[in-house]
Amino acid sequence: MRAGFALHQSIDVADLRRAAVNGRDQPTLMAWLRDICTICSRAQIAAHRYEAHKALCDQELAARGLTRADLARAAYRTVTGTA
């Protein structure tokens, strides 16, 4: 269960529980690797969204409520789930 959905960092509640049970205060190597893969996957999704929107003409973007200047923010919002 994720407590946050930011691309740059998120707190994994399961890791915190696992650390408390194992007596560790640091996440395991597998947890770090999973987080790295998750971050890379989200970045790839954002890049794909950006490229898909970039290919649209200005009229199509306007129909979606976007401008060219908003493309990066729109791609970020779709990945993070922010409004």
| Helix, strand, or coil (residue 82) | coil
In a domain, 3, yes or no: no
Q: Is the pTM of this model over 0.75?
A: no
Strand partners, 2: 12
In a domain, 64, yes or no: yes
Going by pLDDT thresholds of 50, 70 and 90, the confidence category of residue 51 is very high
The pLDDT score that the predictor gives to residue 62 is 92
In a domain, 69, yes or no: yes
In a domain, 73, yes or no: yes
Cβ atoms of 26 and 19 within 8 Å: the answer is yes
In a domain, 40, yes or no: yes
Length of the chain: 83
- The rounded mean pLDDT for the chain is 78
Q: Domains in the chain: how many in total?
A: 1
In a domain, 1, yes or no: no
Question: What contacts 4, CB < 8 A, 6 or more positions away?
Answer: 10, 11
pLDDT, tens digit, for every residue of 26-49? Answer: 678 898 999 999 989 988 988 998
Whose tokens are 């794909």? That residue is: 48
In a domain, 7, yes or no: no
